[in-house]
Amino acid sequence: MTHAVPTSPPTANPNYTVKRSVVIAQSADMRVVDITLAPGECIPWHLHPDNEDYVIMLRGTVEIREFHPDKTVTLGPLDRYIVPRKRPHTNVNVSSEDCQFLVVQGPGKVEFQRLPKLDERAAAR
């Protein structure tokens, strides 16, 4: 049995720079991103106005921090969590090893709205 090899490479994520962030599937109303964060690394505070983030942990530990209401959820391998649409959040690797997770976004228009004032708030703490 032979398997087809994709003819195009995965697309890098244009919204932020972390150890690894690759869009592995995308359509008009859904996207799947494979993300690896180095220790201490985070995705900037942001929200998605029209879709949820369904996070599936593959390895390591990540904290998903939400704002309004304030909430922190810690995920380990094979844990899953849904960040509701319009909820400001960040993903932070608080461990001493890389963490890797998939983010399934959709259904709905996939949009990343960065929230720099929340980045500033977090840095001031």
Average pLDDT score over the chain: 90
Q: Is 7 left (phi over 0), alpha (psi -120 to 50) or beta?
A: alpha
CB 57 within 8 A of CB 46: no
CA–CA distance, 56 with 79 (Å, rounded to integer)? 6
When pLDDT is averaged across residues 61-86 and rounded to a whole number, the result is 97
State yes or no: pLDDT of 56 exceeds 80.
yes
**What helix, strand, coil percent values describe the chain, rounded to 5?**
5, 45, 50
When pLDDT is averaged across residues 31-52 and rounded to a whole number, the result is 95
Q: How do the domains of the chain map onto residue ranges?
A: 12-116
Query: pLDDT tier at 21 (50, 70, 90 boundaries)?
Result: very high
> Residue 32 corresponds to which tokens in the numbers above?
């799947």
pTM (predicted TM-score): 0.86
CB 8 within 8 A of CB 26: no
When pLDDT is averaged across residues 36-59 and rounded to a whole number, the result is 96
12-116 CATH, one of 2.60.120.10, 2.60.120.380, 3.40.50.2300, 1.10.1530.10? 2.60.120.10
Among 117, 95, 125, 97, CA closest to 44:
117
Among 4, 28, 23, 24, CA closest to 13:
23
Where would I find the H helices in the chain? Answer: 116-124
Residues in the chain: 125
